[in-house]
Chains A and B, each alone.
Chain A
Amino acid sequence: MLEFIGLLLLFMVIAAIVAIETRDLLAAVISVTAVGFGVIIAFFYMRAPDVAIVPIVVEVLILVILIRATLRVGLRTFIGNRDFFGMMVTMAMLAVIFLAGIRVFNDFPRFGVPVMARIVDAPSRFYIANGLKETGAANIVTAVLLDYRAYDTLGEATVLFTAIMGAIAVIRKKARKKTTEPEVSEWEE
């Protein structure tokens, strides 16, 4: 069980390195989707079926959008990274962050002990104990998402709507005609 999740994470790390280092953009896009589906399998094994169903749709959508951005006529591939001095500073900073992060993970509880088990009055315990009685939902995740933290979900929908509107506004070719301009539209000619 533990070994399986470890192997899955190792596979995801390798796929991520391939996605970043390969020269073919299409191969990179497909590799990043492999990372995404590894995430989905990990969710299933960590007893999170609700979370595992949503990213299937999300991964496929991201794959389609990225392929649309990648398929260009005459797209030049270029090798090499950014300039040398910046690279050195970046690598030093990455090493420092990595070492500091590893020290933090040493203080974490063992994998398999949830955070709520260590806190006496964690809200998760309350939700699990009273979720069915108070909301009538047998699925506690749904109870949290749509009842206890429903404003969070409303905000999520707002953010998604705003982001998609922004994407449409950026991508649109023609601007809307101003009403103050003299009226010469196509169907009047």
Chain B
Amino acid sequence: MLYALCFLLFMVGLYGVLVKRNLIKIIISLIIMESAVNVFIVMVGYRKDGIAPILNKTMQHQELVQRAVDPVPQALVLTAIVIGLGVTAMTIAIAMRLYERFGTYDIQEIKRLKG
């Protein structure tokens, strides 16, 4: 059920990428898709009544082994978030350059002006 909601969020982003004409709206849709995928990957590693994979002094090591959530998806999502920032900055830079060149964010008008 929660996976399906996450997938619905991804589909909303995909709809925006495919249907919208405004370049800013398309970039926003890309950000939404990225958020949905990140939440989904962390969800895959979640354990019911789990604890964060951090050992503290009051805890036995065996308790961590039995109850910790999966650390590998969290590490990978941490990487993906930072790369997402770089990708978003790159797309916005290209969009701003297109605006300076054509004076609009409308992709159909840009296509028409270019011929």
Contacts and interface: CB of A to CB of B under 8 A. Distances in A.
B93 A171 contact: yes
Contacts of A166: 90, 93
A167 B89 contact: yes
- Interface of A, secondary structure class, is helix
Interface string A57-68: 010011001100
Contacts of B94: 170
A67 to B, nearest CB: 10
A108 interface: yes
A127 B72 contact: yes
Contacts of B19: 81-82, 87, 90
Give chain B's interface secondary structure class: helix
Given A9-B5, A20-B29, A47 B88 contact: no
Interface string A32-53: 1001100100110011111100
Contacts, number: 247
Contacts of A149: 75
B22 A54 contact: no
Given A13-B12, A112-B47, A170-B94, 12 more contacts: A13-B5, A29-B24, A46-B42, A51-B77, A58-B82, A65-B92, A66-B24, A66-B28, A94-B14, A114-B47, A149-B75, A160-B83
Interface of B: 1-9, 11-16, 18-22, 24-25, 27-29, 31-32, 35, 38-39, 42-48, 50-56, 61, 64-65, 68-72, 74-79, 81-90, 92-97, 99, 104-106, 108
Q: Which 3 residue pairs of A and B lie closest in terms of their CB atoms, listed nearest first? A: A163-B86, A112-B48, A140-B53
Interface of A: 2, 5-6, 9-10, 12-13, 16-17, 19-20, 25, 28-29, 32, 35-36, 39, 42-43, 46-51, 54-55, 58, 61-62, 65-66, 69-70, 72, 75-76, 78, 80-83, 87, 90, 93-94, 97-98, 101-102, 105, 108, 111-117, 123-125, 127-129, 131-132, 138-141, 143-145, 149, 152-153, 156, 159-160, 162-164, 166-168, 170-171
